[in-house]
Amino acid sequence: MTRAIAAPPRLALFGGLPARKKPFAGPSVFDGAERKNVLEVLNDRALSRFMGSPSADIERQLSMTSAEAVDYNPQHFMFIGGRKVRALEAEFAKRFGARYAIAVNSATSGLMTALGACRLGPGDEVITTCLSFNATAVSILAFSSIPVFVDIHPESLCMDPEDIRRKITPRTKAILVVHLLGRAADMDAINKIAAEHELQVIEDCSQSPGTVYKGTPVGSIAPIGVFSLQDTKNIVAGEGGVIVTSDESLARRCRLIRNHGESIPGPDATPEELCNIVGFNFRMTELTAAVALAQIKKLSRNNQQRNVNARYLAQRLAKLPYLRIAEGFASDGNVCHVLAMTYDAKTSGVSRDAVLAAIRAEGIPVGGGYPRLMPENPMFTKKIAFGMDGWPWSGFPHGRAMRYRREDYPVAASLIYEKFIWFYHVNAPNTPKDMEDAANAFKKVFSNLDALKGYAPTGPKVYKW
């Protein structure tokens, strides 16, 4: 007698019971330390202690290391901020092997500050990845520089060094590296290219605090790096960012750009001293610093849980057909920020977006990555940023047409529009038990792929240019 093979459970997308009903936890892992720090700020009524005007010791404040600044001068207001801000900066500098850390109100303003401190200006080209959050590219526009996008390497998901070489022109002045999803970019190759062409290198480490490249923390490999404290990141403070550097000149300029720097130079200041020191207010509040100060002390423990969860889920999904997880996502020093997988829709006969819809219906938060490549934002395709006349692109004669076309980024375009499946919640306090629910949902969907054939989900528009 032949035993009947049980049909796979009905997909939640078509009325079945979901694999998980409980939401996954976000990355905010708080305890008494955050409360203690915040109450200290509230009890002291010290919501901000920045002063935007010069004082007799201003040059000392601009040049001292973050370790020296912690207990410097008990005065109420300082150009470099209050006690919690300075304590956070000292912790960041120590944690990432830098002499200086400069806290700002977001990683976006941190990138703008770092690029400004490197004296980038109108018409200068800055090479960066085509695959990141918009802030990476938009920060380049702050001082009227021009973003030039490169494709990614299919394994690291970070900038392809060979495409960097192809995109260099006489106007290229810097490379803005992004360590995406906790994976380190190929910094040896990138630094070699930068040295050959006398280019500056800035690291965007928003998704990678704690990732180590060949023994060195990312953010400390190039002369200047930027981290994020936004609510979805590894160090959570709601908003905020921190710049790290061991270069005293860069630190001084960052401190000025952060805090109404134009009020500091005297009438004899040189053009070099004045360059890019304009009136921004990128200051961090004491409340934000209080939360972040407690959070950074949990970074190693929380990062470890990310990798434990990511490895567990990857192991449980390893034998699913049509699904692949790139190596190195939680090894070789990488810290998994988001677990990125690739799905072979052409072989399976079911679209990636149909699979995403089915997994989401099972209660598992997945996505296809960013909704579009950065260069496909209308700001870049239409070259409209500041005013109506196409500034900054219209202001400078380029030796080549500055075009942003999908076909220039074939690897990233294929991944983001056809193949990527990102699982977002490998973060603590989620555990392998939560990952088991995710694994069960994936298995349920992949055992029901035939039911998804021809299914066309409605959802976010795929942008075509």
* Distance, CA of 331 to CA of 340 (rounded, Å): 14
Query: SS3 string of 356-372?
Result: HHHHHHCCCCEECCCCC
- Which residues fall within 8 angstroms of residue 286, CB to CB, at 6 or more apart? 41, 46, 47, 48, 49, 81, 82, 83, 84, 85
Sheet holding 125-129, edge to edge: 100-104, 241-245, 224-228, 200-204, 172-178, 125-129, 146-150
Task: Judge whether 233 counts as a catalytic residue.
Answer: yes
H runs (alpha helix) in 102-247: 107-117, 134-141, 161-167, 187-197
Closest CA to 9 of 453, 457, 446, 421: 446
Closest CA to 130 of 158, 156, 150, 160: 150
What residue type is assigned to position 360 of the chain?
A: R
* Distance, CA of 265 to CA of 401 (rounded, Å): 39
What residue type is assigned to position 19 of the chain?
A: A
* Distance, CA of 307 to CA of 324 (rounded, Å): 17
Task: Give me the catalytic one of 84, 167, 173, 233.
Answer: 233
DSSP bridge partners of 422: 340, 367
- Which residues fall within 8 angstroms of residue 71, CB to CB, at 6 or more apart? none
Task: Tell me which H or E stretch contains 308.
Answer: helix 299-317
* Distance, CA of 110 to CA of 245 (rounded, Å): 12
What is the residue whose two structure tokens read 């919640």? 425
CB contact at 8 A, 239 and 368 = no
CA quadruple 385, 386, 387, 393: dihedral positive or negative? negative
What's the CA dihedral at 288, 35, 66, 192 to 10 degrees? Answer: -60
Question: Which of the residues are catalytic?
Answer: 233
